[in-house]
Amino acid sequence: MKTIHATYENGVFRPTEPVELPESCEVEFEPRIVAEARPQPPDPQFAHLDAGLARIYATLSHRYDGGSTDAAARHDEHQP
């Protein structure tokens, strides 16, 4: 069997290329780091914060356009 390269993110190993294995099969491996994780540079506007908090604020600062122009009209849409 060939070597499978993967990235470890959020507690999960994600292969970087297609893997030829049966779905849901159990595998065993010994991870070996081949390249250190490259940290994302923090957004300059959040440079005064620690790196983890700066990444959170940078993510939250990205705008999401959901198509709705009146959020207040839908504020309890998901309530039972």
The count of structural domains within the chain is: 1
The pLDDT value recorded for residue 43 is 63
> In the structure encoding, which two tokens stand for residue 73, read together?
């009209």
Does residue 27 fall inside a structural domain? Answer: yes
| More reliable by pLDDT, 78 or 33 | 33
Domain of 54 in residue numbering reads as 6-65
> In the structure encoding, which two tokens stand for residue 57, read together?
């604020």
pTM: 0.40
Our measurement of the distance from residue 22's CA atom to the centroid of its chain's CA atoms, rounded to an integer in Å, reads 25
The pLDDT value recorded for residue 50 is 74
How many C-beta atoms lie closer than 10 Å to residue 54's C-beta? 19
Q: Alpha-carbon distance 52 to 54, whole Å?
A: 5
Does residue 45 fall inside a structural domain? Answer: yes
At 38-49, the pLDDT tens digits run: 666 656 766 666
Does residue 75 fall inside a structural domain? Answer: no
**Structure-token match 């991870």, residue found:** 31
Q: Work out the average pLDDT over 20-24.
A: 89
> In the structure encoding, which two tokens stand for residue 39, read together?
């940290």
Does residue 78 fall inside a structural domain? Answer: no
CB distance 64 to 71 below 8 Å: no
